[in-house]
Amino acid sequence: MMQSRTHTCGELRIKDAGSKVTLAGWMENLREVGGSLGFAVIRDFYGTTQIVIETEEMMKAFKGINKESTVNVTGVVRERSSKNPKQPTGDIEVVPESVKVLGSCRYRELPFEINRSREADESARLKYRYLDLRNPEVKNNIILRCNVIAALRQAMSEHGFLEITTPILTASSPEGARDYLVPARKHPGKFYALPQAPQQFKQLLMVSGIDRYFQIAPCFRDEDARGDRSPGEFYQLDMEMAFASQEDVFAVLEDVLPPIFAKYGRYNRASGAPFMRIPFEEAMERYGTDKPDLRIDLTVRDASVLAESDFGPMKGQSVKAVVVPDFKESRKFIDKTLAAVEVQAGAKPYWFRVGDDGSIVGGIAKFVEPIKEQVINALGLKPGDFVALGCGSLSAARKTAGILVKTLGTAVPGHMDKEQYSFCWIVDFPMYEIGEESGELEFCHNPFSMPSGGLETLLKAERGEIDPLSITADQYDLVCNGVELSSGAVRNHDPEIMIKAFEMVRLGEDDVKAKFPAMYNAFCYGAPPHAGIAPGVDRMVMLLAGEESIREIIPFPMNKNAQDLMMGAPSEVTPAQLEELHIKIVKDEE
């Protein structure tokens, strides 16, 4: 027996008919049928139960209670004459003997109807998130999140990993995003930083002799929101392994994730081990992205033959094609779809079709016709094929083609096996790139990654024997259904290799020591080779729930502007608080 209730609102069944029970929950609805007859619905965490009102006195009592008040109802269970097979408690109802208000809702008008809260304006949902979470559909996402995290913890423990928490207040370090800074009251002018990730701490745990580490780690990055990224904070399944290779990391996640996805996901199929391994360059060339959705059977083809046409935008440019066989869609569909692609890609896609008689029709057909045979042979075209094209620089053409693959694969029937979770590893990422702003060599991704080939590869680049841009890193991404779940790497644990890697981007030994003092010093005391990864928990649950926005699976999310509308954060603080922290607010001059 529980306080205020004998049963939950989702518990009673036909076997309980005749029993006297006490229920507690929120009054979801009251429907008057006429006279003294009516029906109330009581809802708690576990479900709903119908209360049948049959006396004037009881009707008066229920009518005096506002919806969403918490109530305590005592009565007798009986079999319903009109059953509801869609409801777990649909075979029974409770005839009340008494009703008591436990917590009054003082407002007749709610910000939104609870069971339709997902249709409400997002600002209202976030401001009244505690009401939004009463919606069973919203609440179920949070329950799913809890179950997935519990399953991840259990699986990691079974694989011999220790859950170790790492500091939240730490030092600022260059890790690719803006830090959240916290002023240090006892050290005027100095600041802590909230960790963008436990990267350095987990590597230091490897140096300290911990063999396998994990935690459900909170991470803090001052980044703009996206559909699959929440501003401010997020959580990841952070893990690291000593004396481990890339394949060791792959083996753990290929064993841990598929059962969880198959059990908790909207789809009951998930890739089994081993996941497909796709080199970065191949992914960009074949799928137009390093986050391919392998549920789609369309791929990118090289259409450089069209660079020889007289069509201005393609002449002398990189051209990539996406071929959709046996295409039956209308011109209206083509125009609408390609317009949407243009918005996403920031570049105009082009198209043509191969008629049933083998002729080139539609779109840029008149420019393709003079070199028709070369184009058909190069792309392996057949009558009925639709060809969508991206052009420009190599990166621009690939980007447009990648968006074409996703858009056409989703919109044209028969090209997407949607009801599954399709995993792959993207491997062999470039170690370096030319910075868009600096025009000089910069790290492409994680500076802590081991360059493939180690020190010898870096020395060859230093001597001019190989192009630094050809150096790949022992770095990998885990992708599922076109969503990047995680980046990971075999770590650069050798101080000599680390210094040489940073020298390639014009940072010397003193810079490394200054930026990463703890890690550099620790590595000088005998560091084991180690590797790790950190799949995003929020993104994982978003995929499992089948949601498009990550905010749907976070208990108390911020809005797109990194504001907590419910708590009023960020907020101003008092002058006394600022003075204590030795901080002065300087307003911008207009």
Q: Pick from 481, 507, 527: which residue ends a domain?
A: 527
For 430-453, what is the mean pLDDT?
89
> pLDDT value at position 3?
64
Same domain for 404 and 429, yes or no, is no
Q: Pick from 82, 103, 124: which residue ends a domain?
A: 103
> pLDDT value at position 224?
81
Same domain for 301 and 405, yes or no, is yes
Same domain for 41 and 96, yes or no, is yes
> pLDDT value at position 1?
45
Residue 507 lies in a domain: yes
Distance between CA 531 and CA 144 in Å, rounded?
29
Distance between CA 135 and CA 8 in Å, rounded?
17
Q: How confident is the model at residue 587 (pLDDT cuts 50, 70, 90)?
A: confident
Residue 119 lies in a domain: no
Same domain for 302 and 403, yes or no, is yes
Residue 406 lies in a domain: yes
Residue 496 lies in a domain: yes
Q: Taking the CA atoms of 424, 429, 434 and 440 in sequence, report the sign of the dihedral they define.
A: positive
Tens-digit pLDDT profile for residues 223-274: 887 767 788 899 999 999 999 999 999 999 999 999 999 999 999 899 999 9
Tens-digit pLDDT profile for residues 331-354: 999 999 999 999 999 999 999 999
Residue 512 lies in a domain: yes
pLDDT above 70 covers a percentage of the chain that reads 98
Query: How is 350-410 classified by DSSP, letter by letter?
Result: EEEEE-TTS-EESTTHHHHGGGHHHHHHHHT--TT-EEEEEEESHHHHHHHHHHHHHHHHH
Same domain for 435 and 399, yes or no, is no
Tens-digit pLDDT profile for residues 300-327: 999 999 998 889 999 999 999 999 999 9
Same domain for 491 and 437, yes or no, is yes
| 338: CATH | 3.30.1360.30
Residue 175 has pLDDT above 70, yes or no: no
Distances (CA, A) of 282 to 271, 301, 312: 20, 12, 28
Same domain for 306 and 392, yes or no, is yes
Q: How confident is the model at residue 174 (pLDDT cuts 50, 70, 90)?
A: low
Residue 114 lies in a domain: no
> pLDDT value at position 300?
98
Q: Pick from 411, 436, 466: which residue ends a domain?
A: 411
Same domain for 302 and 387, yes or no, is yes
Domain that holds residue 26: 14-103
Q: Taking the CA atoms of 250, 252, 255 and 259 in sequence, report the sign of the dihedral they define.
A: negative
Residue 238 lies in a domain: no
Same domain for 391 and 435, yes or no, is no
Mean pLDDT of the chain: 94
> pLDDT value at position 558?
93
Same domain for 304 and 392, yes or no, is yes
Burial class (CB in 10 A: 0-12, 13-18, 19+), 588: exposed
Residue 257 lies in a domain: no
Same domain for 305 and 407, yes or no, is yes
Split into its structural domains, the chain has a count of 3
Residue 285 has pLDDT above 60, yes or no: yes
Same domain for 332 and 384, yes or no, is yes
The answer to which of 101-115, 162-176, 542-556 has the lowest mean pLDDT is: 162-176
| 73: CATH | 2.40.50.140
Residue 9 has pLDDT above 80, yes or no: yes
